[in-house]
Amino acid sequence: KVWVPLGTDCLTLLHTHDTNSPKMSLEWLVAWSWSLDGLRDCIATGIQSVRDCDTTAVATVACLLVLFVWYCYHVGREQPRPYASVNSLMQGADANGLQNGYVYCQSPECVRCTHNEGLNQKLYHNLQEYAKRYSWSGMGRIHKGIREQGRYLNSRPSIQKPEVFFLPDLPTTPYFSRDAQRHDVELLERSFPTILGEFEALYKGFSNCSLPQGWKMNSTPSGEWVTFYLVNQGVCVPRNCRKCPRTYRLLGSLRTCIGNNVFGNACISVLSPGTVITEHYGPTNIRIRCHLGLKTPSGCELVVGGEPQCWAEGRCLLFDDSFLHTAFHEGAAEDGPRVVFMVDLWHPNVAAAERQALDFIFAPGR
């Protein structure tokens, strides 16, 4: 049985007695000829319809196409939306000003900048959403921490007072040994020449009158403190990463690097001689801040929880920045700057399930 069109509006069913026969009936040939005429008429009608199409509609479609192409181009070139530093979550008398060079966000939608009870409600909502998608298993400490966050933060001793989130039952100590995250520490130290080389290439762009693109000037009581972020509050900075490609690739090899939430950073930090950083607290106790010494002249110290430590070139120094801490460079001008590569690693006592949940709860922009 073969369906063939007899005209533009109808079909007919013809029967062939032998489908394998090479001969076709005269009726079939006539019907095929009629079907070709109908096809030709259909194509002609379609072409005429296109010709008669409303020019306004065509112009509208063309404009939308141009706007779409422009949008794709714009998004491809756009830098990530800047986030205020987590230090901007500190609530104080100067909340509308600057502290350590960071501007306060003041956004009611930002989980990091929501005040007190509003912050706790936002965090609990995020935890519930995570548990519905995945599981409540292993969420005991996080649930307890969010439920009693106000009490934890307000009753903490002044030596350790994270400003945003405190996870209970974590060991507290100002400094950590290298064994806390041995794999990542050893990998960073083996990569010391690579990171130092990329920093020196970057630093050649400095002059006395301008700050090169990608660097950030931070407020200090004295001296100069500048940073070059590869990851800022969990957000990659593509333009900066392209200038330090091997260092950026190294981050992907670290097993405990925090890269998916607002508590994760990776940057080069430079202190000029005579610089003092104001004492301050970090935002949370779920991380370890790792400093790999790149250039460490004499007269430089880090003080965490009242305990001083000195950096060493090619060596990592691990500390909990939720403790009150400061840094200074009291060396002479000819000593040059103190330079460290800073990266945030997970606290070794935060379990894998907790890390996944915290990445969800504190995802950038959430």
- The whole-number pLDDT of residue 342 equals 98
- State which amino acid sits at residue 229: Y
Distances in Å between the alpha carbon of 278 and those of 197, 269, 303, 365?
29, 15, 11, 28
- The whole-number pLDDT of residue 280 equals 93
Q: Per mean pLDDT, which range of 54-63, 220-229, 299-308 is the poorest?
A: 54-63
Confidence of residue 156 (pLDDT cuts 50, 70, 90): confident
Q: Where are the beta strands (DSSP E) in the chain?
A: 2-5, 11-14, 98-99, 102-103, 175-176, 215-218, 225-232, 235-236, 266-271, 275-276, 287-295, 300-304, 307-309, 316-319, 325-329, 338-346
> pLDDT digit string (tens) for 171-184?
999 999 999 999 99
Summarize the confidence of residues 63-86 as an average pLDDT. Answer: 60
- The whole-number pLDDT of residue 53 equals 61
> pLDDT digit string (tens) for 106-144?
444 444 444 455 678 889 999 999 999 999 999 999 999
Q: How do strand 325-329 and strand 98-99 relate by DSSP bridges?
A: unpaired
Domain 169-350 fold is Jelly Rolls (2.60.120)
Domain boundaries, the chain: 169-350
- State which amino acid sits at residue 304: V
Enter the pTM of the model: 0.70
